[in-house]
Every structure is written in structure tokens, then in C-alpha cells.
Amino acid sequence: MIAIISDVHGNYPALEAVLGDIDAAGCNNIICLGDVAGYYCMVNECIEALRQRGVSSLMGNHDQYLLSGTSPQRSRAASRCIAFQRQIVTADNLAWLAGTKPSLHIAEVSMVHGGWVDPIDEYMNEIREDYFTDLPGTFFFSGHTHVQVLARYGNKTYCNPGSVGQPRDGDPRAAYALFDKGEIALKKIPYDIDQIASEMDRAGFEAYFFENLFAGCCIGGSTAHVRIITSNSC
């Protein structure tokens, strides 16, 4: 059994709740699809929790921003959060993040943060059968959209486990997936949102940066949508 998590984004209370649920399921193999960094203020706690468990993690776009010294151009809020994390992240945790890879392939399983054209920053907002036709593998996992998705096309299966730290589908619970012998179970876990809100407030961030967590949406209030395209879709 493998637990697949993604988009933790410095939200340690959410990660802690998910790790507790993974433990309760008797699973000790965890893979993170990237973006441990970004958005929330407990990036060190999150990285250390993954390091202690020996979690294999991929590189996400926010991880890359933190490592490269660049800033996300799509969002001023995200840029401010990355700037904050750049000041507090420890050298050891940054080195661990620098060791993450853009993709992971295990037998018939292929994993990236974004997509298979751009592993780090491609948004899989439309899931189409023909996208996977010529890709080697049977099971495909990616994050980045913060929306939990499961789509099956014949012998190909795609899954986005959703976001641990910043769900954007209107459900504030932390999301992840369990993968066991070809079966995928989508999971959603409640956690103490007030705790990360308090930590963000203590770090000097206005409510604008964390009030979205109570609604399960992006900073600013919008939700994200992923469309699954089937042969019967219009």
C-alpha cells in the first residue's frame, strides 16, 4: 500500500492529520507529489515531518520558486508567502528540497507534480483519454490543481490525490489517496484549520492569506474545477 499526498504548502496541521490517518490505515510507504513549500508558514515543520519518515517527494513549482530565488508571477500573495519562507527555511530542509526530482516511475506507475508535458508546472485541468494513450505506464498520478480526481480509461488510470494543505474544490478537508494493488481510494480528512490560521496570524499575515482554508478554495475565494473528458462528453 502507498499513500500519495500532494500540495502540502506549509500547512502542518493538515499534514499532521493526514499522516495520522495514513498511520491508522497501516501504511508506511508515502510518496509526495511536490509543493511542500508555498502559501503557509510552517514549511520547516512540514519538511521535517516528511524527512523523518523517509518520504520520497517530487519537486513542485513552489518548491522550485523557493530553491531558485524566483517568485510566482501568477500571484502576489504566493510571492509574499515564498519570500517569507525563504527567510525562515533551514539549510538542512532546503537541501532536502533540492534533492527532490521532477518525476518518479515505479513499474507501471508514473508520477509528476504537474503533467507529463511539463512535470513541474502543467495544470491538468482537462483529463482526456488521448493524453495518456502514448505515455508508458498504467497508473498516472499528479497534483498541482488542488482538486481530487480519479479517471479510468480502459487500461489507463489517472489520479490527482487532491491537496493536503490548500484544497480548492469547495471542501476544506485535507485530501490524499491510497494506492493498493491497482486500487485507488480517495480520502478526505478534517483538521484543525484554526491552528494554521493562528500560526499565520502570528507570522504577520492578514486573514486574506488563510480565510480561504475554511471554505476550501484559493486565496481570494475562487474554486478550481477539473473536467474529465470521456468518449460520451460533449
Domain range summary for the chain, segments of one domain joined by +: 2-229
Beta bridge partners of 152: 157
Distance, CA of 46 to CA of 57 (rounded, Å): 12
Instruction: Tell whether the model's pLDDT for residue 233 goes beyond 60.
Output: no
Q: pLDDT of 110-156, one tens digit each?
A: 999 999 999 999 999 999 999 999 999 999 999 999 999 999 999 99
Q: pLDDT of 36-49, one tens digit each?
A: 999 999 999 999 99
Q: pLDDT of 1-53, one tens digit each?
A: 999 999 999 999 999 999 999 999 999 999 999 999 999 999 999 999 999 99
Instruction: Tell whether the model's pLDDT for residue 234 goes beyond 50.
Output: no
Which pLDDT score is estimated for 70?
85
Count CA atoms closer than 13 A to 108's CA, side-chain side. Answer: 9
- The DSSP 8-state label assigned to residue 18 in this structure reads H
The three grid cell numbers given for residue 164, joined into one nine-digit string: 493536503
Instruction: Tell whether the model's pLDDT for residue 211 goes beyond 80.
Output: yes
Q: What percent of the chain has pLDDT over 90?
A: 94
Residue range 2-229 forms a domain whose CATH class is: alpha beta
Mean pLDDT of the region 216-231: 92
Please work out, in degrees rounded to the nearest 5, the angle formed at the alpha carbon of residue 219 by the alpha carbons of 218 and 224.
15
In the block, residue with C-alpha cell 508508458: 136
Which pLDDT score is estimated for 74?
81
Residue type, 106: I
Which pLDDT score is estimated for 232?
61
Q: pLDDT of 77-116, one tens digit each?
A: 999 999 999 999 999 999 999 999 999 999 999 999 999 9
